[in-house]
Structure 1
Amino acid sequence: MKKQFALIALACAVGSTATAEGLPEKYKAAGKIVVANQPNYPPMEYRDPATNELMGLDIDLEEALAKKLGTTIEWSDIGFEQMVSSINTGRVDLIHSGMSDLPKRRDTLDFVDYMKSGAQFYTSASRKDEFKTPTDFCGKTVGMSRRTSFPDEAAKWSAKNCEGEGKPALKIVGTEGSADARAQLKQGRLDGAVQGSETLPYLVDLEKDTYIIVGEPFTAVYQGIAFSKKDTELRDAYAAALKELMASGEYKAVFAKYGLENAMLDGIYINGEPVK
């Protein structure tokens, strides 16, 4: 019952017009919102090699949301593992950096979800004949960022699809990030790797004839903008602004720019729950 009342109240807030008037006073006075982001996950967030300018879907969407709310963004480059503590200590106001909205994270954070994602296998193009389906990785060494949920998700997938079918388990290697996994794959230290489905088409296009995607995503999650549980007013202001971007077509335009229309959501979701 408590959850039902909370969703009703939230629906009312999201249904309102998202102007600068909807922004909490503290952020109006500051004239900015400090956003945690680590630009190492193209095409979601990265730096242009020539100009060092921040680029990516998350960057464009956040700037569009800020404009709708009548404020500006101050980007704070923070390691992924420090982001939650940074928001809880007030160093940043929110996190917008390819973060999955996972149930265990909702103990300390609230999420305004904005896209679909999933973990997906890939390998070197030179080994395409060895790995035609995901189960061909059973018993093989597969790398993925240890800072993400991928190692746990891959272990669960392996238990069902490898060990559960009488095959050897995945040999999961936690790497220092997706770039490290790719480097180890090129060096032959890994047989395959796992990365977010939203990033792999960009990667394959960027380094042609280097990688191949194997199978469909084996998980389904939402990516979300993360807020302190104490900052429900800012969360609701962002949800309302996102709703306006969806209605105006600006949301779709951002996703189309990066060829990720299939990752768009059909409405507003808070902590994985639809808000009408």
Structure 2
Amino acid sequence: MTPKHAILAIGLACAAVTPAAAQDLPARIKTAGKVVVANQPNYPPMEYKDPATNQLKGLDIDLGLALAKELGVKVEWSDIGFEQMISSLTTGRVDLIHSGMSDLPKRRETLDFVDYMKSGAQFYTSFERKDEFKVPTDLCGKKVAMSRRTSFPDETATWSKTNCEANGKPAIQVVGSEGSADARAQLKQGRVDGAVQGSETLPYLISLEKDTYQIVGAPFTAVLQGIAFPKAETGLRDAYAGALKRLIASGEYKKIFDSYGLGVTMLDTVLINGEAVK
């Protein structure tokens, strides 16, 4: 099954959202007139700070603001480290997480996700070594850096077992970094041979830094990115699902994704925990 088909297969089941829940925000959110959203702006083009103005920018920022406008509230962005986001959500410090988070089965044990795009883990190397690493298996036995806070280390190790070790090649040496920016720094310094990050981010980085990075192969996972909510906040979750559905219908959703050149990552319908919303 190809990554594209795997993503499509995820949405075959249906999650019911009642019309009232899809329209109405919880009373506490209405009273506050805002949602507090966890976001760490270090993952361009999804979220980042404009170096000239220090203003928040990115697809997640634009989509988050559009969703809040649709719901009639404002957004208070809370800059929280990725590893602290889930605890901040479950303890009530923030209302939701909108920060390039993958909707993973293990995260669904404590969170619900309104999925809004598809992504995948992607190998890349430095441009100067593009002839050395032409296909992903060329990275077998090599040092590959990726954020230790993400699902990439486990996914890379799993891929390595199937594509390297099972074929008699040495395993990829997974190097956990402090984030995607740290992984890129290690790659530039020659401390690692390759790196991994979300496929949605690399075209943007390549456009910014010409002849610096080279994508190796196709994405080797197929995952959904979602806005995360506490399990108990079904009202807020469903209100966001309804708002996203209206943005898709109006064309605003497509406009936002196209503005970042990420139309290929769009979903055809709203999903909650990977299941299509009726």
TM-score (norm 1): 0.94
CA shift in 2, pair 1:159/1:244, >3 Å: same
Q: Does 1:28 align with 2:30?
A: yes
Alignment of 1:6-17 (within 5 A): 9-10=16-17, 12-13=18-19
Alignment of 1:96-245 (within 5 A): 96-245=98-247
Asked if structure 2 preserves the Cα contact closer than 8 Å seen for 1:99 and 1:223, the reply is yes
Paired AA for residue 80 in structure 1: F
Whole-Å separation in 1 of the counterparts to 2:157 and 2:85: 25
Asked if structure 2 preserves the Cα contact closer than 8 Å seen for 1:178 and 1:195, the reply is yes
Aligned partner of residue 103 in structure 1, secondary structure? coil
Whole-Å separation in 2 of the counterparts to 1:167 and 1:91: 47
Asked if structure 1 preserves the Cα contact closer than 8 Å seen for 2:103 and 2:113, the reply is yes
The equivalent position to 1:273 in structure 2, one of 270, 275, 278, is 275
Asked if structure 1 preserves the Cα contact closer than 8 Å seen for 2:38 and 2:85, the reply is yes
Whole-Å separation in 2 of the counterparts to 1:235 and 1:45: 21
Whole-Å separation in 1 of the counterparts to 2:173 and 2:237: 39
Q: Does 1:262 align with 2:264?
A: yes
Whole-Å separation in 2 of the counterparts to 1:31 and 1:44: 25
Asked if structure 2 preserves the Cα contact closer than 8 Å seen for 1:14 and 1:240, the reply is no
Match of 2:41?
39
Q: CA deviation at 1:13?
A: 3.3
Asked if structure 2 preserves the Cα contact closer than 8 Å seen for 1:36 and 1:97, the reply is yes
The percent of aligned pairs where both chains have the same amino acid is 74
Instruction: Structure 2: state its 5+ residue gaps.
Output: 1-12
Aligned partner of residue 226 in structure 1, secondary structure? strand
Aligned partner of residue 148 in structure 1, secondary structure? coil
Asked if structure 2 preserves the Cα contact closer than 8 Å seen for 1:96 and 1:224, the reply is yes
Whole-Å separation in 1 of the counterparts to 2:65 and 2:19: 21
CA shift in 2, pair 1:141/1:14, >3 Å: farther
Whole-Å separation in 1 of the counterparts to 2:89 and 2:197: 25
Match of 2:5?
none
Aligned partner of residue 116 in structure 2, secondary structure? strand
Asked if structure 1 preserves the Cα contact closer than 8 Å seen for 2:15 and 2:275, the reply is no
CA shift in 2, pair 1:133/1:9, >3 Å: closer
Question: What CA RMSD, in Å, does the superposition of the two structures yield over aligned residues?
Answer: 1.3
Whole-Å separation in 2 of the counterparts to 1:128 and 1:7: 43
Whole-Å separation in 1 of the counterparts to 2:21 and 2:14: 12
Asked if structure 1 preserves the Cα contact closer than 8 Å seen for 2:115 and 2:272, the reply is yes
How many residues are treated as equivalent by the alignment? 266
Aligned partner of residue 75 in structure 1, secondary structure? strand
Whole-Å separation in 2 of the counterparts to 1:70 and 1:23: 9
Match of 2:52?
50
Q: CA deviation at 1:273?
A: 1.0
Q: Over residues 98-157 of structure 1, what are the superposed CA-to-partner deviations in whole Å (9 max), with x where a residue is unaligned?
A: 000000000100000000000000000000110000000001000000000000000000
Whole-Å separation in 1 of the counterparts to 2:20 and 2:207: 37
Whole-Å separation in 2 of the counterparts to 1:227 and 1:57: 19
The equivalent position to 1:251 in structure 2, one of 253, 256, 269, is 253
Match of 2:8?
none
Match of 2:4?
none
CA shift in 2, pair 1:246/1:127, >3 Å: same
CA shift in 2, pair 1:160/1:258, >3 Å: same
Q: CA deviation at 1:166?
A: 0.9
Aligned partner of residue 93 in structure 2, secondary structure? coil
